[in-house]
Structure 1
Amino acid sequence: MNRIKQLRNEEGLTQKGFAEAFNKYIYENNLTIKPINFSVVSKWETQKSSPTKATYEALADYFDVLVPYLQGATIYEILDPLEKSIYSHVTEAMDRAFNDYALLPVQRERILKAIAYSIDNGEFN
């Protein structure tokens, strides 16, 4: 699931409108990330590219969600606050481990979904 598109649509914004609003957010918060345009948003939403770590963090702040949720974590919505904290820490640790390998974002998401599926189905006891 592409959460950027979902959250953008929930705000009632076009890709161009979201790019403008996000660029304003970047400017107002003195963030050191590059401004975006609608074609960047389109590439994120079609998974032809993905945001940098810093941009994911800014997007998460903008949408008031955590990065794992924004990246498509499947079980994140049903977790309590403590579990969300643990999940975020585990996801960050896995991201650091994944950086040692040349994995595409979609491959990372599949691995995380497989782990979540295994946990949900009691395969880790």
Structure 2
Amino acid sequence: MNRIKELRKKADISIDQLSLELKEKGINISASAISKYEREQRKPKPETWRALADYFDVSVPYLRGATTYEILDLNEKGIYGYVTEAMDRAFNDYAFLPETKERVLKAIAYSIDDGEFN
């Protein structure tokens, strides 16, 4: 469950408006793609997650539905960034399924939520 639709509705903008505003910032994401992301019929690429998270001013884990908080503190950003990069390399090298990667990243994010990294 991602939060794209929830945040878009909270911002009171349509899918078309979101696509247009992103294009004005140099980010080319079609309204059709956004609609598919919201219905989870298609998964955004990492750079798309980042662009959407930046647009809504939330963290990528929050946007993806992996955490309950919107903003990561600097320590958490560092941990999440390092782990995500390491996981990307590992999953690319060992060809794990995207669903497996998602479960691992969620488990790490939930550990951050529970304060296990403090």
Flag whether TM exceeds 0.5 (same fold): yes
Alpha-carbon distance, 1:22 to partner: 1.3
| Kept in 1: contact 2:15–2:31 (CA 8 A) | yes
Give identity over the alignment, percent. Answer: 54
Which of 89, 97, 104 is matched with 1:103 structurally? 97
Matches within 5 A, 1:48-67: 48-67=41-60
Alignment CA distance shift 1:20-1:78 (3 Å):
closer
Q: Which residue does the alignment assign to 2:15?
A: 15
Matches within 5 A, 1:23-38: 23-26=23-26, 35-38=28-31
| Kept in 2: contact 1:60–1:70 (CA 8 A) | yes
Q: With structure 2 as the length reference, what TM-score do the two structures score?
A: 0.71
| Kept in 1: contact 2:59–2:70 (CA 8 A) | no
| Kept in 2: contact 1:68–1:91 (CA 8 A) | no
User: How many corresponding residue pairs?
Assistant: 115
CA-based RMSD? 2.9
Alpha-carbon distance, 1:94 to partner: 1.4
Structure 1 unaligned segments of length 5 or more: list them. none
Alpha-carbon distance, 1:37 to partner: 2.4
Structure 2 unaligned segments of length 5 or more: list them. none
